[in-house]
Amino acid sequence: MTRAVAVELRGVSCEYRTRTGRVLAVEKLSMQASDREFVALLGPSGCGKSTLLKMVAGLVPATAGEVLVYGRPVVRPLESLGMVFQSPVLLRWRTVINNVLFPAEATGRRDAAMRERAMALLRLVGLTGFEDKYPHELSGGMAQRVSLARALLLEPTLLLMDEPFGALDALTREEMGIELLRIWQEQPKTILFVTHSISESVLLADRVIVMTPRPGRVAAEITIDLPRPRSGRMRVLPRFGELVSVLQDEMGIAT
Amino acid sequence: MSTSSGRTRSASDRLSFFGTPIATLAGLVALWQLVVSLFSIPTFILPGPLVVWRTAVEFGANWVPHVLATVAIALLGFGVAIVVGVLLAIIIVHSRTLSRVLTPAIVIMQIVPKIAFAPLFLIWFGLGPLPIVVVTFLVAFFPMVVNAAVGLAEIERDLLDLARVLRLNWWKVLWSIRFPTALPHIFGGLKIASTLAVIGAIIGEFVGSNRGLGYLILIANNNLNTPLALAAIALISLFGLALYAAIVLLEMISLPWKPVEAGGLESVAQV
């Protein structure tokens, strides 16, 4: 089973300037993600995984190397791109439905069909009946669901997620992860998922790329061979524990 | 999540919202009348509210040109302050270079005593409403610029990234993200600027005019007609209050997402 390469990084470095000097966030990093693959980028805080994601998004230029999405070099954000951030970044003056519709409206594609699609997405993320609420009336988990629905509106082929559930409590976090998998099963797309949670990466991903502390490089790539569909109950499987301890070793955590 | 505040106020809340300030005002007026009557203060020094009221009613249609003149000038100066203030804020937020040039100029303009310049404006802009509008504008525009600039600059990094992922141009970012984000701040600026615009108009009229409530106060003072002067001051205050109330109302209508705490002063102080 060979699938097209969705994302490819070849010897990519990223250096940026701060007030105190230059920081090498990512150094000579190479990786690939296949079409419709769920890849988790795992690493300690400040290892450059967010920078990596932003380079794929075309938000931050690589200072060396090549970033390719479906074979084309990334110079600016691509059209078929969905992005979910750690905070929901909803527009607080817009209702839930109008937040989900914002990408369509901003790009001049809002119509009745788009509205249908937005309603369907709200159903998909379990927010039917909340269309006309304002963001300040939502819980953190609900707000992040809206943010996910918004990212899915224009049917992106590539979904970039930057610690999307990092700000949620453990229970909501797992629930959201399982829900993301269900959505991904229904609408397959390539997902790059940044996280610093080992168990989250094992639960969700096809493959986990472990990054070193700054400057970020690939420390290891681990294929997660747990069956799909996944559920929270898989945590008790011996294989789950094995994979977690392998990743812990790779991240240099003594067990 | 406070859902009890803002749009869903109960009837008793609403009564105290309007009732308390009115009762306070009525109490003060009653105290004023009491003091004047009790100590038999002469009318030319301090007339009681009843005398002021009678004078105001007797003045009748004579009020019309003066009120119209002051209202027109205050609104015009306020309007120019809003437009110029918001435009300057947009420039400051978008260009670091222009911000470095403009910010000191704006601050200096605020520090310079504008009232002292008012007589010079008569020389520069001639007699008539123009110099008064200029004074009004100068007095009112500073809080507009500052508040609008703070609001327009207040945008999360991730939100800017989202805008770039959606490939929005700067105009779309300004119109559909920055401007709505800035609105609460802009309303804070409007509240302060509205009160200043009324003051600015009166100052301008003091310095050079032949019409308007400010002019009328000068004339009444010269004739020791204290009741008329006080009546004019009361009308000015009423106008300022109406303008402020209109802005608070507009704010409540246009910010349905924000639980407005009934337009209390804290919503000004916050910004």
Residues on chain B touching A87 (C-beta within 8 angstroms): 156, 158
| Domain ranges across chain B | 47-269
Among B8, B159, B166, B172, the residue to mutate for chain A (most A Cβ within 10 A)? B166
Q: For the segment B160-176, what is each residue's pLDDT rounded down to a tens digit?
A: 999 999 999 999 999 99
| Residue of chain B minimizing CA distance to A50 | B158
Q: How far is A92 from chain B (nearest CA, A)?
A: 7
Report the alpha-carbon distance of residue A220 to residue A72 in Å, rounded: 26
> Which residues of chain A have a pLDDT value below 50?
254-255
Task: Give exposure, A145-154, as e/b (b: 16+ Cβ within 10 Å).
Answer: bbbbbbbbbb
Q: What local confidence, expressed as pLDDT, does residue B117 receive?
A: 87
Residue-wise DSSP of chain A = ----EEEEEEEEEEEEEETTEEEEEEEEEEEEEETT-EEEEE--TTSSHHHHHHHHHTSS--SEEEEEETTEE-SS--TTEEEE-SS----TTS-HHHHHTHHHHHTT---HHHHHHHHHHHHHTT-TT-TT--GGGS-HHHHHHHHHHHHHTT--SEEEEESTTTTS-HHHHHHHHHHHHHHHHHS--EEEEEES-HHHHHHH-SEEEEEPSSSB-EEEEEE----SS--GGGGGSHHHHHHHHHHHHHTT---
Handedness of CA B38, B43, B45, B48 (dihedral sign): positive
Q: For the segment B38-54, what is each residue's pLDDT rounded down to a tens digit?
A: 999 998 999 999 999 99
**Residue B81 is encoded by which pair of tokens?**
């302050």
Q: Show Cβ contacts of residue B105 under 8 Å, excluding neighbours closer than 6 positions.
A: none
Neighbours of A179 (CB within 10 A): 16
Cis, peptide link before residue B256, omega less than 30° from 0:
no
Decide if A20 contacts A81 (C-beta within 8 A): no
Task: Give exposure, A22-50, as e/b (b: 16+ Cβ within 10 Å).
Answer: eeebbbebebbbbeebbbbbbbbeebbbb
Amino acid at B251: E
What phi and psi, each to the nearest 5 degrees, are found at residue B140?
-95, -20
Q: What local confidence, expressed as pLDDT, does residue A1 receive?
A: 55
Residue B124: closest CA among B207, B68, B198, B200: B207
Which of B1, B165, B172 lies closest to A57 in CB terms? B165
Report the alpha-carbon distance of residue A92 to residue B180 in Å, rounded: 9
Among B155, B165, B175, the residue to mutate for chain A (most A Cβ within 10 A)? B165
Asked if B165 lies within 8 A of A107 by C-beta distance, the reply is: no
Q: Fill in the DSSP letter of residue B210.
A: S
Give Cα separations from A96 to A112, A156, A206, A238 (angstroms): 16, 20, 32, 41
Q: Is the ipTM of this complex over 0.90?
A: no
Q: How far is A29 from chain B (nearest CA, A)?
A: 23
Q: How far is B31 from chain A (nearest CA, A)?
A: 45
Q: What local confidence, expressed as pLDDT, does residue B6 receive?
A: 46
Question: HSE on the CB side for B9, CA within 13 Å?
Answer: 15
For chain A, the residues whose C-beta falls within 8 A of a C-beta of chain B are: 54, 57-59, 76-77, 79, 81, 83, 85-87, 89, 91-94, 102-103, 105-107, 134-137
Per-residue pLDDT of chain B (271 residues; tens, 9 = 90+): 444 444 455 667 777 777 888 899 899 999 999 999 999 999 899 999 999 999 999 999 999 999 999 999 999 999 999 999 999 999 999 999 999 999 999 999 889 888 888 889 989 998 889 999 999 999 999 999 999 999 999 888 899 999 999 999 999 999 999 999 999 999 999 999 999 999 999 999 998 888 999 999 999 999 999 999 999 999 999 999 999 999 999 998 888 777 545 445 554 444 3
Asked if B161 lies within 8 A of A85 by C-beta distance, the reply is: yes
Which of A86, A89, A93 lies closest to B162 in CB terms? A89
Report the alpha-carbon distance of residue A29 to residue A41 in Å, rounded: 12
Q: What local confidence, expressed as pLDDT, does residue B259 receive?
A: 59
Asked if B257 lies within 8 A of A135 by C-beta distance, the reply is: yes
Report the alpha-carbon distance of residue A204 to residue A37 in Å, rounded: 11
Pairing of strands A218-223, A64-69: unpaired
Q: Fill in the DSSP letter of residue B178.
A: I
Cis, peptide link before residue A229, omega less than 30° from 0:
yes
| Domain ranges across chain A | 88-155
Task: Give exposure, A184-202, as e/b (b: 16+ Cβ within 10 Å).
Answer: beeeebbbbbbbbbbbbbb
Asked if A89 lies within 8 A of B180 by C-beta distance, the reply is: no
Determine whether domain B47-269 maps to CATH 3.40.50.970. Answer: no
Question: What angle is formed at CA A226 by the lines to CA A34 and CA A254, rounded to 5 degrees?
Answer: 100
